[in-house]
Every structure is written in structure tokens, then in C-alpha cells.
Amino acid sequence: MSSPTTLFDKVWRAHEVHRSDSGQSLLWIDRHFVHEGSFHAFNKLGERQLPVARPDLTFGIADHYVPTQARDVELVADPKVRSMIEQLSHNTQQHGVTLFGLSDPRQGIVHVLGPEQGLTQPGMVMVCGDSHTATHGAFGSIAFGIGASEVAHVLATQTLWQSKPKVMRITVEGQLAEGITAKDIALTWIARLGADGARGYAIEYAGEAIRALSMEARLTLCNLSIEGGGRCGMIAPDQTTFDYLRSRPWSPKGEAFEQACAYWSTLYSDPDASFDLEVTLQASEIAPTVTWGVSPEEALPIDHAVPDPEQLSDPAKARQARDSLAYMGLTAGQKLTDITINRVFIGSCTNARIEDLRAAAAVLAGHKSRVPGMVSPGSTLVKTQAEAEGLDRIFIDAGLEWRHSGCSMCVGMNGDLVASGERCASTTNRNFKGRQGPGARTHLMSPAMVAAAAVTGHLADVRQLPVTSLTQLGVRS
């Protein structure tokens, strides 16, 4: 019998084309997603006059620069933004790559679209020139972000050189309390281990609380692996995974699906498999969590106060906290629930799937938002679904803008920006300085918590607000 093996090792081994004397592996790539930002890589390919080795395994998605007010590239005012979208169309067309373009009814953010279309499957190795590619690991695949040189390499060879990372397991024991989400699990472990706490590791999430998560919540959790420095995050596939994948547009069909399920069922860490690092969290200790600083590690339960640098014993931490407070315009010791906001954003590959929109709508229903804000669904299909359920009316009636799908205010590349000095409660993944625009101040939290902030005008504990049952609202979900 072979020795006990981790999920990660099983998938890695199945993809090793070659191992060099120095220990680097040349890995086979099952799926490669490219977006507008991949133009550098296509240019590199052009310089060498190389074709795309496997256009059938390469998929183009327009998301980072797409306008969210209209779906017409002609209406994009900034010629440079327009040219980003057009270059992607041109490059994919030239190389025979399937494109989910601006006006495609399936368009969406790459990490929402891949799973939704059934392109993301267990046991695969998947890459994209985007750090949140870790998202796809929710299906039990090894999925990670790469840079432009590596994108060019994958385009040219359908393989990638990688050194095998160490493997850590984050186990969440017990059951999450009502109102606690995958976003809270992620912010909790990142706050505990640090934004580089998982650097050099592939993460496997396990335990009762993880098994109980829906597919969409698993995607949120794996998405944030990179914010703790992880190379990738993965969850062993199970019935939840198989049920999600059955009858997705690009899933295997008929007999092939049954064969696939039989194989996917073997993808788990053997009981005695050893990990380089084990971390355990108790689900009962996880509270609704928000960030107060400029790194995802600067996160605290909502009933806490902003740290006082003078009280921190570690001088490096104190220095960082002082810098973060200055940028965020906060006072040491201030209660988190006293932080007033100027704007909200519900969107991004982290938290803009249908369950996220339902959770936010349940809090907003029947209320007005005290601040302006925007909702950008994770994909055009999510948007269509939300409209069929009447969620768009709830957001619009609350005074929020109902936009088209794209990366939008997560990164502001399309011009959807938070103004300098403004404070935004956001369902996104990065509270970095300037991430949502120069001088913008970002607080990360779950969709329901963003909705709670909208209703109250300040950071707020969603558990203390009335939440409307969506069935009461006549929403069919």
C-alpha cells in the first residue's frame, strides 16, 4: 500500500510531467484563464512568434476593465480602458481561444464564471494571471495565480515550472453560529496567523464547519487564501461539490460524469497523512469580523475596539498599527461600531455570488441605505438570477446602484473608484492603501455586514439587526 497522502499531493503527482534535478516540477495545466491584463503575456508570445499550445484548455474572460453601467464597449469613454477590452478580444480570436466577452450572457468575474460554468472541477491544476485564482481550489483542485511571464509560459507550453510548496491544514471544528460566514472564518485565521502566515504553503481547509459550507461559501474561503499568503487553498470534493457540478454547462456529461465522480471521490487526505503545519480553529469562537487597517491581517471581531499602538508590546506591530491608523483616519481605542462610513460596495470574486446577494438583501429589505453605494453581481448570470428573485428591487429601493458584473470597485480599473479620504464598507478582499482608489479607506467584511453598515451608516453587528426572511419577501430561491 502506498503511504498516506494529502489531497494536495494526490493532485500534484497526477500532473507532474517531469521533475528536474533541482527538484522543480513541470506541471500539466488543465485550465488556463486569461483576462484583459494578460496582454503582456500575449505580447511576449508574439515576440517569439509562438502559437497558443492548447487553445481548447485556455479561456478568455473580460472582467477587470469592463464598464458596469452599460455593456457596450463603444460607450467606454477612456480609450485606454476600451483598448484593454479590445486587445483581449483580438488576442483570443487570433489564437482560437473561447472568449466570455463583454456582451456574452455568461460574462462575469473569472473566479465566479469558472465554477458557475463547470469549467472548474476537482483534481485539476488551474492557473490564471490573477492572485485570487486560489478560489477554484474550493472544488479540490490546485489553483493559483501567476505572473505575466508564467502566463506566457503556459500559453506556449500548457505547463508550468513549480517548486512544491509545503502543505498546511486549517481545521475548523464545530458549527458556525447563525450569521457567521466564510468571510469571517478567513479574516479570523488571517488575523491570527498574519498576512504572510501561510506563505510557502498550500492550504487544505477541513473540519466539520468546512464540510457544512455551501459551494459558494467554500469559494469565498478559498478565494481569501492568498490574503494570508497561501499559494493556494483547497477543500476535498464531496457530495456538495458533485451536486454543484452536475449539469453545469461545461461539466462532463452522462457516463463521463459518473467516471469523473468515481475519481473525484478518491481525492481527500488519507487519515494518517501528515501536514507540515496544522492549525485548528473553533467555529464557536468566530464572530462577525471586520478589518480596521490596511492589511487583511488587521481584522477584529465587530464588538472590539481599534487597537492602541501604545499598548502593543511588539515594536514592529506598534509601528504598523500607527501607520494604519493614520492612513485610515482612525483613533486608537475607538470602538469599531463607532466608525462611520461614506459608501458601500457589494461585489468582487470574493462575495458577489447569488447567496451573497441574498444575504445582503435580507438585511437591506425594507430599509434605506444611509450612504451611497453600488452592487455589482459576480457574473451576468448571477445578475439575471438576482433579478428573477427580485433582489435588484431591494437594492434599488434601498438607494443603491444596481450595476452590471465586473471587478468594478474591487480594484477600480474600470473607473469605479472610492474617492480619496472616503471610507467604504466593502465585500471585497483587499484593504490595501489605495486599492479602491488613491486615498480610499476600505473596511472588509461579509455581505450581510456591509448591508448592516449601509442601514446604520456605521460599522455594525449584523446580529443586532432585524433580518427579513427572504421567503417572507416572496423571493423564490
Partner 1 sequence: MKPMTVVTSLGVALPAANVDTDQLIPARFMKEPRSVGYGQFLLYDLRHDAQGEPKADFILHHPEAGKAEVMVSRRNFGAGSSREAAVYALVDDGFRCVVAPSFGDIFASNAVNNGLLPAVVTEEDAEQLLAALGSTPGAITVDLEALTVSVGAVSVPFTLSPVWRTKLLNGWDDIDMTRQHTDAIATFAHQYAEQFPWSAPFPPDAALIGKG
CB under 5 to 8 A by kind: which of partner 1, ligand SF4, none does 109 bind? ligand SF4
- Amino acid identity of residue 87, one-letter, is Q
Note the Cα 178 to chain centre separation in Å. Answer: 22
CB under 5 to 8 A by kind: which of ligand SF4, partner 1, none does 159 bind? partner 1
Element of type H or E holding 16: strand 16-19
Told to check if 158 binds partner 1 by CB under 8 A, we report yes
Q: Write out the binding residues for ligand SF4, residues 89-128 only, by CB under 6 A.
A: 109-111
Smallest gap, in angstroms, from Cβ of residue 24 to partner 1? Answer: 5
Told to check if 444 binds ligand SF4 by CB under 6 A, we report no
CB under 5 to 8 A by kind: which of partner 1, ligand SF4, none does 340 bind? none
CB under 5 to 8 A by kind: which of ligand SF4, partner 1, none does 8 bind? none
Task: Identify the DSSP state of 55.
Answer: G
Per CB under 8 A, the segment of 152-160, 233-241, 271-279, 467-475 that binds partner 1 is 152-160
The nearer residue to ligand SF4, 287 or 411, going by C-beta atoms, is 411
Q: Which three cell numbers stand for residue 450?
A: 456591509
Told to check if 435 binds partner 1 by CB under 8 A, we report yes
Smallest gap, in angstroms, from Cβ of residue 431 to ligand SF4? Answer: 12
Q: Which of 295, 344, 63, 50 lies closest to 195 in space, CA to CA?
A: 295
- Residue 58 pairs with which residues in a beta bridge? 32
Q: CA of 360: how far to CAs of 198, 215, 262, in Å?
A: 30, 18, 37
Say if residues 354 and 476 touch (Cβ distance below 8 Å). no
Binding letters toward ligand SF4, positions 294-333, x by CB under 6 A: ----------------------------------------
Q: Write out the binding residues for ligand SF4, residues 131-150 only, by CB under 6 A.
A: 132
Say if residues 454 and 398 touch (Cβ distance below 8 Å). yes
Q: Write out the binding residues for partner 1, residues 80-139 only, by CB under 8 A.
A: 80-81, 83-84, 105-106, 116-117, 119, 121, 123-124, 129-131
The nearer residue to partner 1, 200 or 457, going by C-beta atoms, is 200
**β-bridge pairing 25-28 and 31-34:** unpaired
CB under 5 to 8 A by kind: which of partner 1, ligand SF4, none does 19 bind? none
The nearer residue to partner 1, 195 or 279, going by C-beta atoms, is 195
Per CB under 8 A, the segment of 155-163, 282-290, 365-373, 464-472 that binds partner 1 is 155-163
Q: CA of 201: how far to CAs of 165, 233, 430, in Å?
A: 5, 9, 20
Q: Write out the binding residues for partner 1, residues 366-395 only, by CB under 8 A.
A: 379, 381-382, 384-385
Residue with cell 474591487: 410
222 is in an annotated binding site: no
Q: Write out the binding residues for partner 1, residues 264-303 only, by CB under 8 A.
A: 294-295
Per CB under 8 A, the segment of 209-217, 226-234, 389-397, 468-476 that binds partner 1 is 226-234
| Binding residue for partner 1, selected from 225, 241, 269, 320, defined by CB under 8 A | 320
As a whole number of angstroms, the distance between CA 459 and CA 334 comes to 12
Q: Which of 138, 375, 319, 118 lies closest to 237 in space, CA to CA?
A: 138
First to last CA, the chain: 47
As a whole number of angstroms, the distance between CA 454 and CA 345 comes to 9
Say if residues 43 and 131 touch (Cβ distance below 8 Å). no
As a whole number of angstroms, the distance between CA 37 and CA 62 comes to 9
C-alpha atoms less than 13 angstroms from C-alpha of 263 in its C-beta half-sphere: 15
- Amino acid identity of residue 469, one-letter, is S
Q: Interface residues with ligand SF4 (CB under 6 A)?
A: 63-64, 109-111, 130, 132, 348-349, 407, 410-411, 429
